[in-house]
Copies of this chain bind each other. A is one copy, B any other.
Amino acid sequence: MSRKDIKLCGFGGQGIVLSGYILGKAASIFDKKEAVLTQSYGPEARGGACSADVVISEVKIDYPYIKDINILVVMSQEAYTTYTKQLGKNRTLLIDEDLVEMDEKQSKKQRWMVYKIPATRIAEELGKKIVANIVMLGFLTSITNVVSYEAMKNAILSSVPKGTEKLNEGAYKKGYQYGKEARG
């Protein structure tokens, strides 16, 4: 795997930065790759959309800012509007389908590979809406090849608050399984 630029976005309170932190940890500490998380606070952050950028690479990362998004993970409509503008042709897009209404025409024109999951709804069924970000990380892990199953699991379990491991592992597995089924 060469360099992968991944942007996670949504609104404040969804745990987007924590998701980025966990993804970077999975890649670096558990999969032994290089990873950098960058949280930029630009004018768009002031508007409400929130994002975390993770670059994963097998070689040292000299330039940590996102260059060309390979994978965009979207958990709010506003973030969708803001960040799909930066998404090139043939890129991969993961969305929370209950929170984001796609512009299907644009998506088709851009030839995006789109994967949809009701992450927040699944989290609510597990009893805690707050783990929607972990459901999404499970989905990301099964849909893409950026991190291994075990690495992501270990990164989640070593990052979430004590006492919430079981809930988070369940959320991770649900998201992962949903992705497996989506891939057929």
Residues of chain B with a CB closer than 8 A to A38's CB: 36-39, 64
Stretch in contact with the other chain, from A2-10, A23-31, A93-101, A140-148:
A23-31
Residues of chain B with a CB closer than 8 A to A45's CB: 28-29
Interface flag for A82 (CB, 8 Å): no
Interface flag for A35 (CB, 8 Å): yes
- Check B158–A12 contact: CB distance below 8 A: yes
Q: How many copies does the complex hold?
A: 2
Interface flag for A21 (CB, 8 Å): yes
Which size class do A's interface residues fall under? Answer: 20 to 34
Interface flag for A110 (CB, 8 Å): no
Closest to A26 in B: B41
- Render A39-51 as a binary contact track against B, CB cut-off 8 A, 1 for contact: 1110001100000
Q: List 30 A-B contacts (CB under 8 A).
A: A12-B158, A13-B162, A17-B17, A17-B18, A17-B37, A18-B18, A20-B39, A21-B39, A24-B39, A24-B41, A25-B41, A27-B41, A28-B41, A29-B41, A29-B45, A29-B46, A34-B41, A36-B40, A36-B41, A37-B37, A37-B38, A37-B39, A38-B38, A38-B39, A38-B64, A39-B39, A40-B64, A64-B64, A64-B65, A130-B161
